[in-house]
Amino acid sequence: MRGVKELKGIGHLKYGKMDCTTGVTLLYILYGEDDFSLQQYLSELKRSLGDATVLAPNTSFLEGHQLTIDQLRSVCEVVPFLADKRLVIVYGLLERFDPRARSARKPSTAPPPSDNHKPFSEYLPKIPESTLLVLIDTLQERKAREKNPLLAELSGKAKVVTFSPLRDERLRQWVQRRVVERGGTISPPAIELLARAVGGNLWIMANEIDKLVLFAAGRQIAEEDIRQVVSYTQEASVFNLIDAIVEFRAGAAQQLLAKLLQKGAPPAYILVMLARQVQLIVRVKELKNQGKSKNDIRNQLNITQEFVLNKALEQADHYSLPRLKEVYHKLLETDLSIKTGKYDGELALNMLIAELCQRQKQYLAH
């Protein structure tokens, strides 16, 4: 059987416990918010161990939040069956000892022994050479590196690979590579629009790229393809509709609504999207008033799309809280009138726009 070969990952790599017969790392730590790239790396690691049918019965998955050191030892020290290596994957062990996760628990006079990371930091570098152990977590890279005690003690004894969310130029480069890998081509403006529309969620991005390559059928993917195929571009239209409503531009709002309806967006969906986005703008505005930074807002509201975050920040600066709350409550009233059958969906939306765009412009004060 062949041994595991070293893989090229993302981020800093540090080598610790190694199999002296093959010279390969036995302890891996994979963490970060880019779960797509992390899972790709894990798949490559599994393939490097050899035949998948042989690896399957020699693979164990463990949940780190309740794992004891005796349970881990009993799994890691099992002899591989008809193979050179066993693969043990532990999820959430780093997060268990993360200061933020522990502070959220109920206060206690003395932490239970299970919350002590020392038994793990002492045992993990000593796993048998017949076992390859992988710790997987979704902790944020910078905060984990600075504060996680288990990670701090294992970093010099393991191969650490971090997976940060892709943004800006790195995201655009990833889109270009992914399209080419799928046998397609894409114009730079289309890359820009796709990156703004979908953001750094690579699971969604990969799915949208697959659809676009099929849709283009051999020709270069253009901006219009993004608008027709990618569902997230409807969110951009919803933001524009919010702009028109809040700014009392009745004509523009009615045109944008008509376009959304023509593209097949149901009235109930448009209402839900409008209400969700207005609520998001209100929450962003409140956090900005509290002095929160852009990254704090991104993390607290769990916003993965850069376009959505930037647009919400822009609208939060531009519109007054009373006007936003008025629009939000009117959206809820319209939703109720449709659900109770008082009005047809399309008629209710047009009535909503007409009513909101007749309001006094005093609400535009910042």
* 190 has a pLDDT exceeding 90: yes
- Out of 196-200, 271-275, 302-306, the most confident range is 271-275
* 13 has a pLDDT exceeding 60: no
pLDDT above 90 coverage of the chain, percent: 26
Give the pLDDT confidence score for residue 19 in this predicted structure.
44
Q: Phi first, then psi: give them for residue 86, nearest 5 degrees.
A: -105, 150
How many CB atoms within 10 Å of residue 40? 14
Specify the higher pLDDT residue, 73 or 138: 73
How many CB atoms within 10 Å of residue 247? 17
Specify whether 23 is located in the same domain as 146: yes
Specify whether 253 is located in the same domain as 222: no
Q: Residue 215 is part of which domain span?
A: 168-229
Residue pair 199/305 in contact by the 8 Å Cβ criterion: yes
* 196 has a pLDDT exceeding 70: yes
User: Would 308 be classed as within a structural domain?
Assistant: yes
Lowest-confidence pick of 141-150, 190-199, 345-354? 141-150
User: Would 354 be classed as within a structural domain?
Assistant: yes
Specify whether 154 is located in the same domain as 53: yes
What CATH number corresponds to the domain at position 290?
1.20.272.10
User: Would 253 be classed as within a structural domain?
Assistant: yes
Give the pLDDT confidence score for residue 232 in this predicted structure.
57
What CATH number corresponds to the domain at position 135?
3.40.50.300
User: Would 104 be classed as within a structural domain?
Assistant: yes
Specify whether 111 is located in the same domain as 183: no
For residue 220, what are the CA distances in angstroms to 199, 215, 228, 328? Answer: 21, 10, 15, 41
Specify whether 242 is located in the same domain as 208: no
Residues 326-344 have pLDDT tens digits of 888 888 888 888 888 888 8
Residue pair 348/337 in contact by the 8 Å Cβ criterion: yes
Going by C-alpha positions, the residue among 63, 258, 31 that lies closest to residue 141 is 31
* 197 has a pLDDT exceeding 80: no
Specify whether 154 is located in the same domain as 111: yes
Specify whether 330 is located in the same domain as 241: yes
Specify whether 208 is located in the same domain as 337: no
Last residue of some domain: 210, 229, 248? 229
What CATH number corresponds to the domain at position 212?
1.10.8.60
How many CB atoms within 10 Å of residue 261? 16
Strand-pair partners of 163 = 32
What are the residues whose beta carbons fall under 8 Å from the beta carbon of 328, sequence distance 6 or more?
275, 278, 279, 282
User: Would 1 be classed as within a structural domain?
Assistant: no
Specify whether 327 is located in the same domain as 289: yes
User: Would 2 be classed as within a structural domain?
Assistant: no
Q: Where residue 366 falls among pLDDT bands split at 50, 70, 90?
A: very low
Last residue of some domain: 147, 163, 179? 163
User: Would 35 be classed as within a structural domain?
Assistant: yes
Q: Where residue 263 falls among pLDDT bands split at 50, 70, 90?
A: low
Q: Where residue 61 falls among pLDDT bands split at 50, 70, 90?
A: very high
What is the number of structural domains in the chain? 3
Specify whether 216 is located in the same domain as 318: no
Classify residue 43 as exposed, middle or buried by CB count within 10 Å of its CB (0-12, 13-18, 19+). Answer: exposed
- Helix (H) or strand (E) segment spanning residue 86: strand 86-91
Q: Where residue 148 falls among pLDDT bands split at 50, 70, 90?
A: confident
Give the pLDDT confidence score for residue 342 in this predicted structure.
84
User: Would 11 be classed as within a structural domain?
Assistant: no
Give the pLDDT confidence score for residue 344 in this predicted structure.
84
Last residue of some domain: 188, 204, 229? 229
**Distance, CA of 83 to CA of 76 (rounded, Å):** 14
Q: What is the DSSP letter of 44?
A: H
Q: Where residue 363 falls among pLDDT bands split at 50, 70, 90?
A: very low
Residues 84-93 have pLDDT tens digits of 889 999 998 9
Specify whether 22 is located in the same domain as 112: yes
Residue pair 20/26 in contact by the 8 Å Cβ criterion: no
Residue type, 90: V
Give the pLDDT confidence score for residue 328 in this predicted structure.
86
- What is the overall mean pLDDT for the chain? 80
Specify the higher pLDDT residue, 171 or 306: 171
- Helix (H) or strand (E) segment spanning residue 18: strand 18-19
- The per-residue DSSP string of 119-138 comes to HHHHHGGG--TTEEEEEEE-
Specify whether 53 is located in the same domain as 159: yes
Q: Where residue 135 falls among pLDDT bands split at 50, 70, 90?
A: very high
- Out of 2-6, 293-297, 358-362, the most confident range is 293-297
